[in-house]
Amino acid sequence: MKGLAIRNHRAFASGALFLAFAIFFFVTALQYPAGTAAKMGPGYFPRLLAIVLAAIGLAVMFGAMKPAADRQVLRAWDLKGLAWITGSVILFGALLFPLGLVGALFVLIMVSSRASHEFTWTGALTNAAVLIVLCLAVFVYGLGLPLPVWPSLLN
């Protein structure tokens, strides 16, 4: 069974994670009626996305077992980086309404940038400026989501 050996452990683990999330969301969506393609129920789209996610996961997993796949091993998790990312998302959620989208995004980007070993203040500030403008354009002005843009003290 030499042809079925896992050559790229990183890709295989990524595909397995995709597959695990797909199974979780598919099972969760089973409690909602699916409906039909013509009259979609609340469970139709989540199930469809779960199937697509599972297909991507399986494709990545099988690609990791091809004889032509690059040999890569799993590295140890960067727990410090994971903590910076997780903390920044929690801060975003906690600060969205008091600071508005601009302030919460700024905090999210600056804190999550600390997870990178290549962190620079200039890069983080540039990234924050571009992403804040992009998020405002897409979510607030493009989609019209009722998000607070500025801190609640300014309203």
Q: What digits encode the pLDDT tens for the residues 84-130? A: 999 999 999 999 999 999 999 999 999 999 999 888 999 999 999 99
- Contact between 54 and 19 (Cβ < 8 Å): yes
Instruction: Supply the mean pLDDT for the chain.
Output: 91
Q: Give the model's pLDDT for residue 1.
A: 47
Indicate if the pLDDT at residue 12 is higher than 80.
yes
Close Cβ partners of 8 (under 8 Å, ≥ 6 residues apart):
63, 64, 69, 70, 71, 72
Q: Give the model's pLDDT for residue 37.
A: 82
Angle among Cα 61, 46, 65 to the nearest 5 degrees reads 5
CA gyration radius for the chain?
A: 21
Q: Give the model's pLDDT for residue 88.
A: 97
DSSP-derived 3-state class of residue 153: helix
